[in-house]
Structure 1
């Protein structure tokens, strides 16, 4: 039998394990541990979404997509796909239209 690490589990995790045991799952602890795994894509999504909704005091609103740097958008999406959200943020912030470029990057993010 394999030993499952339960470091950092909350009361809800133990409750979930008990419910899964009651439902007849033999690998309840494994399922709960797998559900607690870090999800870099979710974290990247939240980071980029926060960048999109951050108010910029000095930035004038633009409606044209001519300012979008598509090369930078693809590079930021590649960084997100690798799990490197800090690099993606730096790439997007270095463009003329960070908000539009961050939004354009979502087209290239791999969702599995």
Structure 2
């Protein structure tokens, strides 16, 4: 008698095997294993379908590194208002302000 591998079987798999066995299938465990096999075409189709129907995210603006350096220089001089004006004039003030922290001198 051939032994069937049952690695990773769930309760539902054992239930399916029992039902198939009661229906008279001699190879119930093999049928359950066959059903558990990977289906690469099905998986590829699901992935493709998901990507086709997923909304595209808004493109994130790039960090204006020149403005970040200029704002950091203004902060280093003690001119916070000038730094705020420079940051607010960029396409993405939040990310540019975050990038400016790289250039602020801490003594």
TM-score (norm 1): 0.50
Give the drift of 1:53. 1.0
Q: Distance in 2 between matches of 1:57 and 1:23?
A: 51
Report the Cα offset of residue 6 of structure 1: 0.2
Partner of 1:44: 44
The higher radius of gyration belongs to 2
Runs of at least 5 residues in structure 2 that lack an aligned partner in the other structure: 60-107
Q: Deviations over 1:86-108 (max 9, x none)?
A: xxxxxxxxxxxxxxxxxxxxxxx
Tell me what 2:29 maps to.
29
Find the counterpart in structure 2 of residue 11 from structure 1.
11
Which has the higher relative contact order, 1 or 2, with Cα contacts under 8 A spaced 6 or more apart?
Answer: 1
Q: What are the ranges of 5 or more consecutive residues in structure 1 without an aligned counterpart?
A: 60-112
Alignment partner, residue 82 of structure 2: none
Alpha-carbon distance in structure 1 between the residues aligned to 2:30 and 2:37:
11
Which residue number corresponds to residue 107 of structure 1? none
Q: Secondary structure at the match of 1:55?
A: coil
In the alignment, which residue of structure 2 is the partner of 1:55? 55
4+ residue runs over 3 A deviation:
none
SS at match of 2:47: helix
Question: For residue 96 of structure 2, what is the aligned residue in structure 1?
Answer: none
Deviations 1:56-98 (A, max 9, x none): 1458xxxxxxxxxxxxxxxxxxxxxxxxxxxxxxxxxxxxxxx
Aligned residues: 59
